[in-house]
Amino acid sequence: MAQLWGGRFTKETDKLVYNFNASISFDQKFYRQDIRGSKAHVQMLAKQGILTEEERDSIIEGLDGILKDVEEGKLLITSEYEDIHSFVEANLIERIGDAGKKLHTGRSRNDQVALDMKLYVRDEIDELDKELKKLLEALLKIMEENVHTYMPGFTHLQKAQPVTLAHHVGAYFEMFKRDRGRLFDIRKRMNTCPLGAGALAGTTYPLDREYTAELLGFDGPTKNSMDSVSDRDYVIELLSALSAIMMHLSRFSEEIILWNSNEYRFVEIDDAYSTGSSIMPQKKNPDIAELVRGKTGRVYGALMSILTTMKGIPLAYNKDMQEDKELTFDAIDTTKGCIALFTGMISTMEFCKDNMEASAKNGFTNATDAADYLVNHGVPFRDAHGIVGQLVLTCIEKGISLDELPLSEYQAISPVFEEDIYDAISMSTCVEKRMTLGAPGPNVMETVIQENKTYLEEE
Ligand code: ARG
C-alpha cells in the first residue's frame, strides 16, 4: 500500500478502506495525460526558478522513462499504489531520487486530477470526432449513389410520401453533423487549464499558470481555483453529447432492424456483420444494430449518474468526484466502438432498391400528388383532399394502386382528371418535383450533397 500522505497517521489504513478508496484500477487509463501534465508543471517550476534546470531535466528524463517502460510493458501499473498520481511519483523517486520528491511542489492531486481528466476528455473528443467523420463519409457515399433510389417516407410508421434513400440517409447526416458540432463546442468551452489551482485556494509559489496552460495546448488558465478543482461540467456536457450520438445511432439501428426484417426486405446486412441462431438454422440476425440500440441505455445511465453525483457536492473538491471516471471512460469507449461498428455495418450493407421502390408504389404514397394535380387545375385543396380520399377507398376495395385505377373511375369522381394524371402521380414525378431546399428532389439533393462534401473536406 503506497500512499502519499502517511505523515499524520499512526495507524495503517484498513485493507477494505484502502481498496474502497483507491482509484488505480481505473485512473491508470490516463497515465499518459498524468505524465504529460507533470512534465509541463516542472518546466514551469524551473522557468520560475522554483526548481533548478538540473532538477527539471532529471525529472523529465525520469517521467519519460516511466512512460516508455509502461508503454513497452516493462513497468506494470499495479494496485500497490492508491492512484495513478502516486504510481508516477513513487516510481519517479525510485528512479531519480530526491529530485523526484520535488515534482509535487505547488500542486495538489485535486488540480492534478482535474487536469488529467480534462486532457483525457480533450484527447478523446478528438478521437470521437475522427470516428464521426468516417461515419459521415460513409453516409455521404450512400447518398451520392442513391439520389434516384425511391423508397417510402413514413410518418407514424405508415407510408406517407415517396422519398429517396439519399434523402433518408441525409437526415442522419444532419444529425451526426450536429453531433460533431456539439463536441467541437464542448472542446472549445472546456479548454482552460486548472493546474495551479492547488487543493482549492491556489498556492503561495510564484507559478506562471499562463505558461503551463500554453505548454499543454489550453487557451489559458481557469479563473477561479475553487471552481477549477470542482468543475465537472465538461464531463456532463460530453456525456450529454455522447447520449445524443447514441440516440441517433439507436434510431438508425432501429430502422435497419426493421429494414432487414422479412416484412420489409429493404436491406441485406453483410454476413460479416450478422450473427446466426444456435437453434434456428435459417436465422441471420441484426445483432450489431441491436447491441448499438441496447448500449444507448448504458451511455444515458452514465449521464444520469454523473448529474446525480454532482448535485449535492459543496465546494470545493470532494471524493465523490472520483466517481466521474469509470462511467466516463465506459461511455467514451462504448460510443467510439458503436460508431466504428455502425460505420462498418452500413458500408457493407446491401440496399434492395427494387423492394424499396415497390414498397413506395403500393402504399398510396402518391395520394398527395393526386390532390396537388387537382389543385393545379383549380380545385380548392380541401375538396381535392376529399376527392382523392374517395379514390383511395375505391382502390382499397379493388386491391389496386392509384396508378392502376382506370381513367373512367377517376373521371366518375371528378371530371377534372385527364390522361396526364398517370404521369403526375408516377414515382419519378412525385420525387423529382419536390425541389424545395431540403426535399428529396434530385437537383436540390445534389446541392446538399455538394455542400456536405465541402464541409467534410474543410474539417
Ligand atoms: N483519485 C482522486 C480522484 O479521482 C484524485 C484526487 C484525490 N484528491 C484527494 N484530495 N483525495 O478524484
> Which of 25, 322, 329 is the best mutation target for the ligand 1 pocket, counting ligand atoms within 8 Å of the beta carbon and taking the most?
322
Q: Is 38 a catalytic residue?
A: no
Q: What is the mean pLDDT of residues 304-313?
A: 98
320, amino acid identity: D
pLDDT band at 448 (very low <50, low <70, confident <90, very high): very high
Which one, of 30, 34, 27, 58, lies nearest residue 45 by Cα? Answer: 58
Given a cut of 80, whether residue 129 has pLDDT beyond it is yes
Query: Tens digits of per-residue pLDDT, 213-242?
Result: 999 999 999 999 999 999 999 999 999 999
Given a cut of 70, whether residue 156 has pLDDT beyond it is yes
pLDDT band at 363 (very low <50, low <70, confident <90, very high): confident
What angle (nearest 5°) sits at the alpha carbon of residue 302, between those of residues 31 and 114? 35
Query: Tens digits of per-residue pLDDT, 29-52?
Result: 999 999 999 999 999 999 999 999
Alpha helix positions (H), 217-262: 225-230, 233-259
Q: In whole angstroms, give the CA distance from residue 383 to residue 381.
A: 5
Q: What is the mean pLDDT of residues 277-303?
A: 92
> Which of 27, 87, 113 is the best mutation target for the ligand 1 pocket, counting ligand atoms within 8 Å of the beta carbon and taking the most?
113
From the CA of 321, give the closest atom in ligand 1: 12
How much is the mean pLDDT over the chain? 96
Q: How many CB atoms lie within 10 A of CB 245?
A: 26
Per-residue pLDDT, 2: 64
Question: What are the grid coordinates assigned to 241, written together?
Answer: 453529447
Residues with a CB atom less than 6 Å from ligand 1: 23, 27, 83, 109-110, 113, 317, 319, 321-322, 325
Sign of CA dihedral 189, 194, 195, 196: positive
Question: What are the grid coordinates assigned to 258, written together?
Answer: 426493421
Alpha helix positions (H), 109-232: 109-145, 165-190, 209-215, 225-230
| Backbone φ, ψ for residue 453 (5° rounding) | -65, -45
From the CA of 82, give the closest atom in ligand 1: 1
Per-residue pLDDT, 4: 75
Q: What is the mean pLDDT of residues 73-84?
A: 97
| Backbone φ, ψ for residue 107 (5° rounding) | -145, 155
Q: What is the mean pLDDT of residues 263-267?
A: 96
Per-residue pLDDT, 196: 98
Per-residue pLDDT, 1: 62
Owner of C-alpha cell 533548478: 52
Beta strand spans in 14-105 (E)? none
Given a cut of 80, whether residue 265 has pLDDT beyond it is yes
Are 228 and 288 in contact by the 8 Å Cβ rule? The answer is no
Percent of the chain, pLDDT > 90? 93
From the CA of 319, give the closest atom in ligand 1: 12
Q: How many CB atoms lie within 10 A of CB 332?
A: 23
Residue 267 bridge partners (DSSP): 351
Element (H, E) at 101: none
Q: In whole angstroms, give the CA distance from residue 174 to residue 214.
A: 35
Residue 155 bridge partners (DSSP): 158
Q: Is 156 a catalytic residue?
A: yes
Which one, of 62, 132, 136, 129, lies nearest residue 97 by Cα? Answer: 62
Element (H, E) at 155: strand 150-155
Per-residue pLDDT, 290: 97
Per-residue pLDDT, 459: 65
User: How far is ligand 1, taken at its centre, from the CA of residue 109, in Å?
Assistant: 6
Half-sphere exposure of residue 227, counting CA atoms within 13 Å on the CB side?
9
Per-residue pLDDT, 275: 85
Which one, of 257, 266, 241, lies nearest residue 292 by Cα? Answer: 257
Query: Tens digits of per-residue pLDDT, 176-188?
Result: 999 999 999 999 9
| Backbone φ, ψ for residue 438 (5° rounding) | 95, -10
Nearest-10 Cα torsion for 99, 73, 126, 247: -130
Per-residue pLDDT, 3: 73
Which one, of 59, 84, 10, 35, lies nearest residue 325 by Cα? Answer: 84
Q: What is the mean pLDDT of residues 81-91?
A: 97
C-alpha 88, offset from chain centre: 32
